Amino acid sequence: MIARLLSSRGPIVAILLLAVALALPFLSDSTYLRHLMILVFIYGIVAASWDVTLGYTGIFNFAHTAFFGLGVYATGLLAKLGGLDPWASMLLGSVLVAGIAALVAWPVVRLQGIYVVLVTFAFSQLALQFVISQSDLTGGTQGLVRIPTIQLPGYNFLRDYKLGYYYVGLALLGLSVLGLQILVRSDFGLSLRALRDNEDYARARGIPVARQRLKALVASAFVAGLAGGFYAVYLRVASPEVFSFATTSLILSMVLVGGVGTLWGPVLAAVVLTLGSEALANVRGLDEGRHMLVAVAMILALRFLPGGLISALLPRRGAPDRAARPTVQGPTTP
């Protein structure tokens, strides 16, 4: 087994990418590049956690970016209005988001296909309208500003040219994806894939359908809420744009283009789409149409790399994992 792991390309690629990520701030002192990479880390966390429900569980959950947005506001409110330490606000905000996800998931796990899409999309719109309507608390359409940022003894995150934020974001990305990887490779993760591939067979084998899906949604929401908390303390702003369809489509594109059911694929797509879009924005004459060019590139990637961008680096042996696709079926009972 050890020899097989050593001969695999996966660990080698992971080590090389980690080395590049650790050394990047010293290879370039560009504050703008560090800012873009911090956004890559945040989007990568959200996309990878979404892949747990979409790629491994087979639930087309459109509420995932709403959990991200709720994490932004929960952390911002706890830190600014509640006076809680920003580190503790990020953690407690993630727990609150996980609790909200449990309430939302309770009816969702009993549905399938288009019904899941409709209910979760309705929740995301409800969350947006709630944030806008509670202007005395959330700032309404203006959002929250001057959110307290994270601190370490003897270190100032506001005067280090984003170096501290960079490594905190990188650490959160690594720990989040590692934790999700352990989750999907556990017996629990195997049960999720069994439910995704053949629900009737999994039910016959004694796997509790509703309970396993509920756990998957809560776990992925916790990670998305953590990413939202870091987003809030980094930008020091919480605005309704985090609930927008543009944010949802961007992160969903990262999941689909990177490779559904891979975890690291969405992270790779977060790097490519974020940096690629910004590079096009700096090309004279392409600023207006860069989103169209990115959309064309996504279509080509999905056409010629159905396994996602990650399949170009790490081709799978044997049959590829089945991608999750919503099917139009009626509601079921656990």
Q: Tell me: the pLDDT tens digits for 239-274? A: 999 998 888 888 998 998 998 988 989 999 999 988
- Report which listed range, 21-30, 84-93, 159-168, is most confident: 84-93
Residue with token string 């947006």:
128
- Sorted by sequence, the CB contacts under 8 Å of residue 333 that are 6+ apart come out as 110
Residue 38 pairs in a beta bridge with: none
Q: What is the mean pLDDT of residues 103-118?
A: 84
> Which pTM was predicted?
0.88
- Sorted by sequence, the CB contacts under 8 Å of residue 80 that are 6+ apart come out as 144, 146, 147, 148
Q: What is the pLDDT of residue 324?
A: 44
Higher per-residue confidence, 9 vs 26? 26
Q: What is the pLDDT of residue 185?
A: 92
